[in-house]
Structure 1
Amino acid sequence: MITYEIDEIGGRAIPLADGRRPLQQILECLAIPDLAPMDLAAFFQGLIDDKIFRDAASDSKVEFPPNYEARLKRQLVYFSGLAPAGQTARDLQHRLLRSRVLIVGAGGGGSHMAVQLAGVGVGNLTIADHDRVEIGNLGRQIFYADHIGELKVEVLRSVIGKISPETSVTTHVERLTREAGWINKILPNVDLVINCADYPSMDETSRWLFDACYPLRIPLIPAGGYNGHMTSVPPTLIPGRSTCWHCYERTTAKKVSPFGELRLAEMKSGVFLPATVAMAALQMPEIIRVLTGCEQPRFINCRGEFDINACALRIENVPPTPGCGTCEGTA
């Protein structure tokens, strides 16, 4: 027989877990300062693992492919602390499984984001890039020496298939240009676009993609850039809810920051693997917020600058410009 020692918080929490209250409501009933949803979720998950409790959310009609739920078991514990009232972790995960995401650019940022999106269980990825793997890519991208010479998008399709067999991957061997007609054929079938294309510059490609996404009301997350130990995170662009790319450019053009060098140096700026990974890590939670609706996106109407050497994140507001026809009516 297993004997458990339950502390005061656990003793108060257990009677509230009656199968009708979501985790957030139990947390509110406890009214204990500094008690994190994740800690409470981990407590109940331990009881579920030991078959003392049964997860009422497992009775949900939401069904997952074989092994999908087992692979993401600990993520579901994390999501139980994010799920809004009346929703479950399985609901959030199911939205990711149904999501359709387009990644433009499969280099430093794009390769990391593609693998991470598959890792968190996004069900449908479209990846567009025309490049082949070169030896200079191996220091900061998700490729290996035996991939040299292969198309980046096809390598990522293979890698993702081994990480997340449930993720459907569609590839396009294309370069993004202002006149690229292929992008307009893809957009009606996606829920979110992530721009990781940095040629001729991240500013140019984000402008082109925003102008294509906006009429279709498709959210766009520009992946930002990195220069040495510095990483930039542009605003999340959601038509009708956020500033537009043009307002962002007008605002940042008047300011001087370490990221000014990114525009001037183009492809010659210094790069550092931790900065690439940091950029992807900063934006993955934002992507999950947009796809699941679990929380308000944090980078709406603001931008971030992260210095990995100083471990410092600076957030700066980027509100819609008064009189901007694109942002007009944005809350």
Structure 2
Amino acid sequence: MKHSGLAFDKKTEAFLYFLEKEGIITLSNPLETEQLPAEYIEQYKRQLYFLLDILRSPRKVHEVQKKIFDAKIAIFGLGAVGSGILQQLCMMGFRQFVLIDYACVEENDIARTPYSIAFQINEPKIKAAKALIEELAFNPVVQVHNETLKTQTDLGELVGGVSLIVNTADEPYVGYTNIKLSRHALQHNVPLVAAGGFDAHLASLGELLVPNVTPCADCYATFFHESLKDWKPIPHPVTEREGWFGGLSSLSTFSASTSALEILFYFMNQDDQQVVSGGRGEFLFHDYSLDSYTVERDENCQSCGEGHK
């Protein structure tokens, strides 16, 4: 190998490779690549430099960002947390989405969502979410489904071929929607983010469910059934809430941000999925503490444990 008129032997090449791997030296333009469009690189340059600080290798950065560029993400529920996750994923470079929601944007959504409320009132949330993607993402590809998640919903038709599923749908109940999606995700080896931030658990940390690596939604359901069997809820000070819970945009953004970072972390570490652990947590606003705990896979789980074989 020759460079600038100098001869490099194998030891010198190995030493330079080591320095590059350790982030001590880098290429003259570490973001230059043929894997991604130049306009895309320019749009996400700040993120790429951030990843370069973490991964310390231009090659690895390009590999991660190419996975993001090619990924197809399905999002169930486009309320405060779902729209927040969607917004941040677009800002990370994700561009292909399947959006599922049946509700319309209401005037009070201005308090917690990034939608352009002025011209979106009474429009389906999927339409507002699609407009958000088209505003932020690079060459977006979007599929929309104006429907709710039901027991008989054919998930194969909705989310066939996706790279990852995000669930923020809390109707009829977040536990039920998580289980239905988790069982489908297990069968098709697709990771599922069961996002936090649902009613009565604002600013909670959701969990990433990786098939045959982390606990599945059924494991979580069993865990809560056992751990909360003697728990009695504290009476709410507001008795007439008309079926709705209040919240702050910052609390929803907390949940959305942690889920978005968890998704990015997954795409950065797909070859080492054992780094993903099972657990959930919640930021408690009254004293600024973070309550978290670990959930283990249930060996007898009928969905992911020995019991399903």
Deviates more, 1:104-113 or 1:292-301: 292-301
> Residue 123 and residue 216 in structure 1: after superposition, are their counterparts in 2 closer, same or farther (change >3 A)?
same
Please list, as runs of the form range in 1=range in 2, the aligned pairs for 1:254-265 lying within 5 A after superposition: 254-256=226-228
Paired residue total: 287
Q: Which residue of 2 aligns with 1:6?
A: none
- Structure 1 residue corresponding to 2:151, chosen from 178, 196, 201: 178
Residues 179-225 of structure 1, C-alpha deviation per residue, up to 9 Å, x if partnerless?
A: 112x2213321010000111111111111111222111111111123
Q: Which residue of 2 aligns with 1:310?
A: 287
Matched, 1:328 2:305: yes
- Structure 1 residue corresponding to 2:247, chosen from 262, 265, 271: 271
Kindly indicate whether the alpha-carbon contact (under 8 Å) linking 1:127 and 1:170 is maintained by their aligned counterparts in 2. Answer: yes
Shift of 1:74: 0.9
Take 2:175 and 2:207, find their aligned partners in 1: how far apart are those partners? 12
Task: Report the secondary structure of 2:283's partner residue.
Answer: strand
Task: Report the secondary structure of 1:225's partner residue.
Answer: coil
1:55 partner amino acid: N
- Structure 1 residue corresponding to 2:182, chosen from 199, 210, 213: 210
Matched, 1:74 2:46: yes
Please list, as runs of the form range in 1=range in 2, the aligned pairs for 1:16-35 lying within 5 A after superposition: 20-21=17-18, 25-26=22-23
2:248 partner amino acid: F
Shift of 1:155: 1.4
Take 2:149 and 2:29, find their aligned partners in 1: how far apart are those partners? 46
- Structure 2 residue corresponding to 1:164, chosen from 129, 137, 140: 137
2:292 partner amino acid: I
Q: Structure 1 unaligned runs (5+)?
A: 1-15, 28-43
TM-score normalised to structure 1 length: 0.76
Residues 237-290 of structure 1, C-alpha deviation per residue, up to 9 Å, x if partnerless?
A: 1111111111111112233599978xxx99533322211000001111111122
2:143 partner amino acid: T
Kindly indicate whether the alpha-carbon contact (under 8 Å) linking 2:52 and 2:58 is maintained by their aligned counterparts in 1. Answer: no
Task: Report the secondary structure of 2:220's partner residue.
Answer: helix
Matched, 1:93 2:49: no
Task: Report the secondary structure of 1:82's partner residue.
Answer: helix
1:208 partner amino acid: K
Matched, 1:63 2:49: no
Take 2:144 and 2:131, find their aligned partners in 1: how far apart are those partners? 11
Task: Report the secondary structure of 2:208's partner residue.
Answer: coil
CA RMSD of aligned residues (A): 3.2
> Residue 285 and residue 329 in structure 1: after superposition, are their counterparts in 2 closer, same or farther (change >3 A)?
farther
Take 2:291 and 2:250, find their aligned partners in 1: how far apart are those partners? 18
Please list, as runs of the form range in 1=range in 2, the aligned pairs for 1:107-256 lying within 5 A after superposition: 107-143=79-115, 144-181=117-154, 183-226=155-198, 230-256=202-228
Task: Report the secondary structure of 2:73's partner residue.
Answer: strand
2:150 partner amino acid: T
TM-score normalised to structure 2 length: 0.81
Shift of 1:146: 2.1
Q: Structure 2 unaligned runs (5+)?
A: 1-12, 235-240
> Residue 120 and residue 246 in structure 1: after superposition, are their counterparts in 2 closer, same or farther (change >3 A)?
same
Task: Report the secondary structure of 1:81's partner residue.
Answer: helix
1:91 partner amino acid: E
Shift of 1:148: 0.1
> Residue 323 and residue 148 in structure 1: after superposition, are their counterparts in 2 closer, same or farther (change >3 A)?
same
Deviates more, 1:267-276 or 1:102-111: 267-276
Task: Report the secondary structure of 2:69's partner residue.
Answer: helix
Task: Report the secondary structure of 2:203's partner residue.
Answer: strand
> Residue 184 and residue 325 in structure 1: after superposition, are their counterparts in 2 closer, same or farther (change >3 A)?
same
Take 2:253 and 2:221, find their aligned partners in 1: how far apart are those partners? 25
Identity of aligned residues (%): 21
Kindly indicate whether the alpha-carbon contact (under 8 Å) linking 1:289 and 1:296 is maintained by their aligned counterparts in 2. Answer: no
